[in-house]
Chains A and B, each alone.
Chain A
Amino acid sequence: MSGPSVALFVTCLVDMFRPSVGFATVKLLQDAGCTVTAPRAQTCCGQPAYNAGDRETAKAIARQVIAAFEGFDHVVAPSGSCAATIAKDYPAMFDAGDPWQARAAALGARTWEITAFLTDVLGIETVAQAATQAAAVTATYHDSCSGLRSLGVHAQPRRLLASVEGLELREMVESDVCCGFGGMFCVKYPDISNVMVGDKTRNIAETGAELLLAGDLGCLMNMAGKASREGRAFKARHVVEVLAGDLAGPAIGEAT
């Protein structure tokens, strides 16, 4: 008997900047017995338009995503932010009575952030990551805002990380405070964003952890970019890279 069919929403940032996160997600899903497809018609979830106040464009992109993804048991994304857009924002975008509203709600109810899908839906407690950790590694986890507050992703990644042999998790102060990325916020209000990400990299460094982990590439690029400019010692990776045992390649923003 084959497992559930999962459509991977890879997210525009992973597609363009860090495909290895997409492949690590695929590996975790396949290891869990899922049949994975990455629908060709995907581009972006439309959140930039929605948050810029351009609701009509956001709805047009939402219709495209709904049509491309509704034929699967589940939709999974390596991002709490994009998953929350599909799961929570799409159903709110369309007026009650619009046939797309019902389709959005149905899709939203089957859309998940990757660590929440593995634990909450599939009931997985341990990951069978390859034993690539040559030495013990210390890590700290940043809770990205949308995943945390829209989808309730907090315990799930920590539970899975606890099953990774040799990994020690050291909690940072204010792990639930925004890193200052915020999509277009970081370029619209760079001064404020810079203060926020500076607070974050300091809190991360104070844990002494070698590795920063999070579930959203936007936040990770922001924090890794700041850390690299400041000359901080820690590296940054998406949480699925550790869970899938994919630590061979360069970390985010690290030289090849």
Chain B
Amino acid sequence: MTLHIPTTPAFKANARAALDNANLQSALRGSRSNSVSKRAKARADLPEFDDLRDRARDLKNAVLANLDLYLEAYEAKVVESGGVVHWAETAEDAQRIVLEICRAAGAKTVNKGKTMISEECAINDHLIANGITPVETDLGEYIIQLRGEIPSHIIAPAVHVTVREVETAFRKAHTHLPADRDLSDLAALMHEARGVLREKYFEAEVGITGANMLVAETGQSVIVTNEGNGDLSQSLPRVHIVMASLEKIVPTLEDAATVLRVLARSATGQESTVYTTFSKGPRRVGDPDGPEEYHVVLLDNGRTNMLGTDFQDMLRCIRCGACMNHCPVYQAVGGHAYGWVYPGPMGAVLTPSLIGVEQGGQLPNASTFCGRCEAVCPMRIPLPKMMRNWREREFEKKLTPGATRAGLGVWAWVAQRPALYRLATRLAIASLRLTGGKRGRIRSLPLAGGWTGQRDMPAPQGDTFMAQWARRR
């Protein structure tokens, strides 16, 4: 079965379309300053926040240094509690495993809590192609499922959708409800989604959730939600499938608590999410509820190849979304322009790791290296450094555009010959001043249309500093 086809190589065209999309721009503008100020307040309210970031970074580094041991310990605990761990080397493996479990359960409907790993593996498409109906229960995921989209943000999947667009999607999908009902405000929309989804919870034979963490010492999976949909998705159906990538391991419950303390604050500015749910194994004798079967699908899909490389630090990511909330490029174009599952700065590093730099190379280039992502990352992931590392891989593989390479080559050759450089800069100034010297600015410049298309180019003052300095000595 096919996976999501990346449109990542068309990032520039995607971005252009996103900038021209008035609804998208309105939705992005609406959310922008909100997430930044909430995170800033949460950080300010917790004096030890930066110390917690250090601890979170260090504990995850320790996991990555011995990932195999932690995974084995985790699996043993899951098995001990009556659950099953399935190792999925690729996204296709994960699709096959999930479908087999669903078929064995006789599933017609599968309820889903929010899971990015399911998006990475295109589980919904695979289930539909095999006659099983997936129902997204996270409100944002439900909205984009109705619209036939993939998430545009890793924790706010429908952040690109305006309220009026949600109303349109609901009216189209919920045809069993009176056509003249009032959906003019947010509360009405939420009430309607809640009512529709409540029915679905009792129909599903299988519930799929993601995992924010997997705890090695206990064999628990942890999810954080604000809607409680994850709890209903995993406890009501007969079978619970956890989909997680293998770097989600933390050693102990104390470590999980450390990560939780930075996660919600970084993501939404909450001290903690409304629901934090720990799950372990199937229902035991005497338990009032819970699934009869508990499966964990552990996805690699290229992640172990990142161990020991320049990109290992990316595996610390806890998917809070702070990097994209603070990224001026993401805020300008939204998540879909990135063309695959993971957008923003974390996507710019992770996407080339998972689908190859040949496909994903545009993303690490689409950054000013402003560094705001790294400054807010709770796991202190050096995102700009790793984007530069991808540019280096591209340069080594000669994937950098020929004109860029040639221009850079000439410039570098001259820059290493100071006397020649002095001459070249004075010639460049003379020609620039011919173009716009008197007006002080240049409105159109050959070969620099990228600049002068939408802004003027300030003209040089006159001679170079170095020439004037030499004359003054």
- Which A residues lie at the B interface, using CB under 8 A? 10, 12, 14-20, 22-23, 38, 40-44, 46, 48-55, 57, 60-61, 64, 92, 145-146, 149-150, 174, 176-178, 180-197, 199, 221-222, 224-226, 228-229, 249-250, 252-256
Contacts and interface: CB of A to CB of B under 8 A. Distances in A.
Contacts of A50: 388
A38 B465 contact: yes
Contacts of B66: none
Contacts of A19: 461-465, 468
B415 A43 contact: yes
B441 A16 contact: no
Given A57-B412, A145-B369, A192-B15, A41 B465 contact: no
A53 B388 contact: yes
A230 B458 CA distance: 14
Interface string B341-377: 0000000000000000000000001111111101100
B461 A253 contact: no
Interface in B325-346: 328-329, 332-333
Contact of B464 (A15, A178, A254): A15
A22 B19 contact: no
Contacts of A23: 465, 468
Nearest to A182: B368
B416 A256 contact: no
B416 A228 contact: no
Contact of A60 (B412, B421, B438): B412
B411 A16 contact: no
Given A53-B400, A189-B15, 10 more contacts: A15-B464, A15-B466, A17-B460, A19-B465, A61-B412, A64-B416, A149-B370, A182-B368, A188-B366, A225-B451
A228 B385 CA distance: 34
B44 interface: no
A14 B465 contact: yes
Interface in B271-293: none
A255 B438 contact: yes
A16 B454 contact: no
Contacts of A149: 370-372, 374-375
B254 to A, nearest CB: 31
A55 B469 CA distance: 31
Contact of A16 (B367, B391, B393, B425): B425
Interface residues of B, number: 68
B402 interface: no
B394 interface: yes
Contacts of A57: 408, 412
11 contacts: A14-B465, A19-B462, A149-B374, A185-B367, A190-B454, A193-B368, A196-B368, A225-B441, A226-B456, A228-B455, A228-B458
B328 to A, nearest CB: 5
B421 to A, nearest CB: 4
A188 B365 CA distance: 9
Nearest to B368: A182
Interface in B434-473: 437-441, 443, 448-451, 453-466, 468-470
A147 to B, nearest CB: 11
B458 A224 contact: yes
B183 to A, nearest CB: 32
A190 B450 contact: yes
A51 B370 contact: no
A27 B455 CA distance: 32
Contact of A187 (B412, B421, B448, B460): B448
